[in-house]
Amino acid sequence: MMPMRHGLMLIAPLALVLAGFFLIPVLMLLPTSFGEYLPGSGVVKGVWTLENYTRIITDEYYREVVWRTLGLGLFVTLVCLVLGYPLAYLIARGPERWRLPLILLVIFPMMLNLVVRSFGWIALLANRGLVNNLLIQTGLISAPIKLMFNLTGLMIGMTHIYLPFMVLMLVAAIRNVPRDVEAAAATLGSSRLHVFTSVTLPLSAPGILAGSILVFVLTISALVTPRMLGGPTYKVMATLIYDEYMQLLDWPSGSALSFALTAMAIGIIWLSSRLTKQWAGMA
């Protein structure tokens, strides 16, 4: 057994860095979120208000941005599930020799720089981008359709960015389903579809939930892709926070939004862990 003194000495350096450069800065943001901001002169000293938080719910524009963020998270999660499951199933249950190349082709875009991937989607979706060029050349449309700076662009781009996370979580989940249970159901006369819906799908449900939560939280937290594909006008919560800080210099409002976004992310994670525990209790 290692003495506690040695253990503390080993943990202390990292704990101090995280306390000083993560915990304390985040806690110091809390008073800012109750401050009042006057355009031109900054934060008013000695005045405390809840207005930065109430505005997120009462102000129509803020509310729209919050709903858009949540809706985007939900949509991206569902599409990632639908697109990711067949691929994950092929990786988990397909021919052995395909497994490694397929996994590497899933990991590769995931490891690639986020700005590079988002830039790729700009080259595809812009008014003079590849998709519009192709559609005009083939005569399907006469004027470019708007695929960027709106919901369509964000949905396509973010589905692409977070799909690899979903696939990897689903592969692990499907591989956890015992093959002999599937084989037994098949032997007992179940059709392939029935084996899938009555055995594989329910038994991989915890992994589906974990992957969905991961993709949802990543999507609502994302800044880079929404900014690059949504531009300065089509905003989600993270890009709104960015603008409150960088353009408007309204730190109180930006920090309140930051805590709202954090609460949403942590709330979802907490809910899902409750759900997982309940499932484990039922089994």
- Figure out which of the listed residues 170, 238, 253, 272 binds other proteins, where binding follows CB under 8 A: 238
The 3-state DSSP class for residue 36 equals: strand
The 3-state DSSP class for residue 37 equals: strand
- Figure out which of the listed residues 53, 78, 109, 206 binds other proteins, where binding follows CB under 8 A: 109
Residue 17 near other proteins by CB under 8 A? yes
DSSP 8-state assignment for residue 7: H
Residue 105 near other proteins by CB under 8 A? yes
> 226, exposed or middle or buried, with CB in 10 Å at 0-12, 13-18, 19+?
buried
Minimum Å gap between C-beta 271 and other proteins is 14
52-91 residues in contact with other proteins (CB under 8 A) are 83-84, 86-87, 89-91
Spell 129-166 as b/e; 16+ CB within 10 A means b. bebbeebeeeeeeeeeeebbbeeebbbbbbbbbbbbbb
Minimum Å gap between C-beta 202 and other proteins is 15
- Figure out which of the listed residues 62, 241, 253, 272 binds other proteins, where binding follows CB under 8 A: 241
- Figure out which of the listed residues 74, 103, 135, 203 binds other proteins, where binding follows CB under 8 A: 103
Minimum Å gap between C-beta 54 and other proteins is 20
Q: Whose CA is closest to 33, among 260, 268, 267? A: 260
Residue 38 near other proteins by CB under 8 A? no
